[in-house]
A and B are shown apart, each in its own frame.
Chain A
């Protein structure tokens, strides 16, 4: 079945450093969504990307969708302690029964 691979699995940074997580799919995605889960919490929707090469920004967060619509990235500039959590990408192939397939997540920890 469709797989969405996310790397790295863990990332530890000093506060103020940048952070990037990458999401790759074996098949073309019709769109991709990003979620954030705070420690002990539940996933919360951040953004959806639909178009090839799309770039969206939310304050210090930059989301990109690859030209081939098979990969995506989330970049956080100058991390803050409030960024701690696990970031998930979730993709949809657009073929057959459509369901979101979640990546394994990247757990971000920050040294203040």
Chain B
């Protein structure tokens, strides 16, 4: 039981390049989330998905797109990376659909945009 897994662990992009961050969970959770973590800013919600087939914007969605591929997988895409998107990205999941349950986090992806 791996919990929440994320790939890649590290990535360096040039401005304007695109990439997709992958996230998968094997806990049969309904909700999945993408956060970014910047120094002094805590965790800010980018997008979330309360169930398969649904996605909603969080606090900082601009510059990102998401896909809930199936119940297990939730990907985050940067279409044209910018230096302001340099951050640590965490995927998380929770069992219910209300968004209020305990969240289980993946190990994170450290992204640098030059």
What residues of chain A lie closer than 8 Å to B99, measured between beta carbons? 92, 97-100
Minimal beta-carbon separation of B67 from chain A (angstroms): 19
With contacts A6-B42, A9-B40 taken as known, whether A42 is within 8 angstroms of B100 at the C-beta atoms is no
Flag the segment in B10-18, B19-27, B77-85, B105-113 that touches A. Answer: B105-113
CA distance A30 to B100 in the complex (A): 9
CA distance A41 to B45 in the complex (A): 18
A: interface residue count bin: 20 to 34
Contacting pair A100 B59 (CB below 8 A): no
Q: 17 A-B pairs, CB-CB below 8 angstroms?
A: A1-B59, A9-B40, A33-B103, A41-B107, A42-B108, A44-B105, A45-B104, A88-B42, A92-B100, A98-B99, A98-B100, A99-B45, A99-B58, A99-B100, A100-B103, A101-B45, A105-B43
CA distance A6 to B90 in the complex (A): 20
What residues of chain B lie closer than 8 Å to A6, measured between beta carbons? 42
CA distance A42 to B9 in the complex (A): 12
Of all chain A residues, which has the CB nearest B42? A104
Contact flags (1/0) for B67-98 with A, using CB distance below 8 Å? 00000000000000000000000101000001
Minimal beta-carbon separation of A57 from chain B (angstroms): 18
CA distance A5 to B48 in the complex (A): 22
What residues of chain B lie closer than 8 Å to A66, measured between beta carbons? none
Of all chain A residues, which has the CB nearest B59? A1
Contacting pair A98 B98 (CB below 8 A): yes
Contacting pair A105 B42 (CB below 8 A): yes
Closest 7 CB pairs of A and B: A104-B42, A42-B105, A102-B43, A102-B42, A99-B99, A45-B102, A92-B100
Minimal beta-carbon separation of B84 from chain A (angstroms): 18
Contacting pair A42 B42 (CB below 8 A): no
What residues of chain A lie closer than 8 Å to B58, measured between beta carbons? 99
What residues of chain B lie closer than 8 Å to A42, measured between beta carbons? 90, 105-108
B2 within 8 Å of A (CB atoms): no
Minimal beta-carbon separation of A88 from chain B (angstroms): 6
Contacting pair B90 A43 (CB below 8 A): yes
